[in-house]
Amino acid sequence: MIMEISETIKVGAVFSAEGGKGIRKVHPKWFVWEGRKYTIKEVNYTWKELQGSEDLYCFSVTDGANNYELSFNSKRVVWVLNKVF
Amino acid sequence: MPSPRTILHVDMNSYFASVEQAANPKLRGKPIAVGGGTGGKTTIVAACSYEAKAKGVKTGMGAWEAKKICPEIIIVAGDMSKYIYTSSEIFKILRNYTDLFEAFSIDEGFMDVTATKERFGGEIMLAKEIKQRIREAFRLTCSIGIGPNKFLAKLAGELKKPDGLVILRSEDIPEKIKDVPVNKLCGVGRKLEKYLAAMGVRTFLELHRYPREKLIKRFGTVYGDHLWHMGQGLDNSPVMPYPQIEESKSMGHSYTMPEYTSDIKEVKAYLLLLSEQVGKRLRSGNYSGNTVHLTLGFGNYNFWGKQKKLAEYLDDGYDIFKTAEFLFDKNFSGNTRDPFRFVGISVSGLLRNISQPGLFPEKQAAGKILKAVDAINDRYGEQTVKRAATMNTILHEKVGMAPKNFVKPSV
């Protein structure tokens, strides 16, 4: 069952340059949705999309119970919870 | 005599379905199908997982048919953005091993590693490293075929799926593949398979032994000779990296509607929307074309197509639409036969970088407007500005396997 959410949320994430090659990575660690904090246990999948000229970094993550699709708009510096599944 | 080449064919296994299973742990190990929707009347299985294939589900089936064969199947709406991104990242990995990489489709490609393989410990070590990197980065498996040419490399990859690694050498021909059915050979479709069967050619060995002159007599000099070369396991075609790939011959878009419709106005709105998409793609590649093709699909799974060649070259979606509308009206005015379920528009006869300044001020103004609309849509996303006539279409994001930025929902 997929629930479309599309709500701006607060996310705690680590931004890092890995492997000494300057490859930038984003690791979401937790997010707050409707007043509840969810700890991300695993990032299942990551991909990038274009929304016009803006990059969206997308993450399929799990808190151990459910899966969530988050996206980060690097230009607007906004996180969105797209779906729960 | 040219020195032997080492070609790899890398083919992602059940690609769309595997990406969905990687992205959603709840789908792993389950029979799933990826389609344009989530199982409506018109949803077609675009790809399915190995678990679904084991139950008899096949690509191209209707979702209803898949559900009949495998009631527990989960139908997932395809997300082209995810597949395109993953594919581009995988191709980046492959380009780490050679500059001679040719993307054959979204989920497969050829690599000529003749000059570079020794740096990675030989072709087998190199192939194993590629498989490991793809698995670690994306939880995806691929089959890799290794051969002295593209034809045998692709065939080798077909021999073991999923997660295979098979080598075919020239000396293995024909013995190692003698029983392979001809329909496994790249380029042999259902029609050709039928013709060959009528000639008593059903396996690779039978094609290998078939006289060259008889193939030429039956299929003509070019294709008959091509088939004979296939039967000998020969193929001189080079691996063509992106910049050397031939110019596009046609550009098109198609869409399977979420519901059958007999409403001509609605069908035309989709035609306009798709025509605009084709026009945008033509302009972004500096192409214009002089032949418009219209394809329609009906509820009874029949297809109909017509084309019109024009004196002028088009790159404006509205002009493309008017030609498609002409073809439509000529054949369907007042007669909707079966309800429509599929619409497709393509433009061929492409030329690049031709400048056709309009003689009339209206045409010049239209060109300026198109340029401005393209700039806005490039910046803010496709269909941010669109023609009012398309506002009632429900070509939503992620429906019809369209990339997420393909079109925004109407508001």
**Alpha carbon of A34: minimum distance to chain B alpha carbons (Å):** 23
- Does the pTM surpass 0.80? The reply is no
CB–CB contact A53 B379 (8 Å): yes
- CATH number (3.20.80.10, 3.30.200.20, 3.40.50.12280, 3.30.1490.100) of B252-401 reads 3.30.1490.100
Look at strands B74-77 and B32-35 and give their pairing.
Answer: parallel
Output the CA angle B137-B140-B145, nearest 5 degrees: 110
Catalytic residue among B108, B206, B276, B382: B108
DSSP B336: -
Nearest to B23 among A49, A51, A60 (CB): A60
DSSP letters for B137-176: HHS--EEEEEESSHHHHHHHHHHSTTT-EEE--GGGTTGG
User: Per-residue confidence of chain B (411 residues) as pLDDT tens digits?
Assistant: 567 899 999 999 999 999 999 999 999 999 999 987 666 666 788 899 999 999 999 988 888 899 999 999 999 988 888 999 999 999 999 999 999 999 999 999 999 999 999 999 999 999 999 999 999 999 999 999 999 999 999 999 999 999 999 999 999 999 999 999 999 998 888 889 999 999 999 999 999 999 999 999 999 999 899 999 999 999 999 998 865 555 568 899 988 777 788 888 888 888 998 998 899 889 888 889 999 999 988 876 678 889 999 988 888 898 999 999 999 988 876 556 678 888 999 999 888 877 665 566 677 777 788 888 888 888 887 778 877 776 666 554 433 444 443 333 232
Whether B108 is catalytic: yes
CB proximity under 8 Å: A 18-77 to B? 44-45, 47-53, 58, 60, 62, 67
Interchain pair A44, B25: CB under 8 A: yes
Buried b (16+ CB within 10 A) or exposed e, B153-188: bbbbbbbebeebbbbbeeebbbebbeebebeebbeb
Complex ipTM tops 0.95 = no
Instruction: Give the three-state DSSP class for B266.
Output: helix
Nearest Cβ partner of B26 from A47, A51, A67?
Answer: A67
Query: For chain A, how many structural domains are there in total?
Result: 1
Interhelix angle for B123-138 vs B80-95, to 10°? 150
Give me the sheet containing A3-18, strands edge to edge.
Answer: A36-39, A23-33, A3-18, A78-84, A67-73, A54-62, A42-51
Residue corresponding to tokens 């073809």: B327
- Domain with A70, as residue range(s), is 3-84
Class of B8-140 in CATH:
alpha beta
Q: What share of chain B is helix, strand, coil (3-state, %, to 5)?
A: 45, 20, 35
Domain ranges in chain B are 8-140, 168-243, 252-401
Q: Which residue of A has its CA nearest to B383?
A: A52
CATH 3.90.400.10 fits B168-243, yes or no: no
Please tell me whether the peptide bond between B4 and the residue prior to it is cis, using omega within 30 degrees of 0.
Answer: no
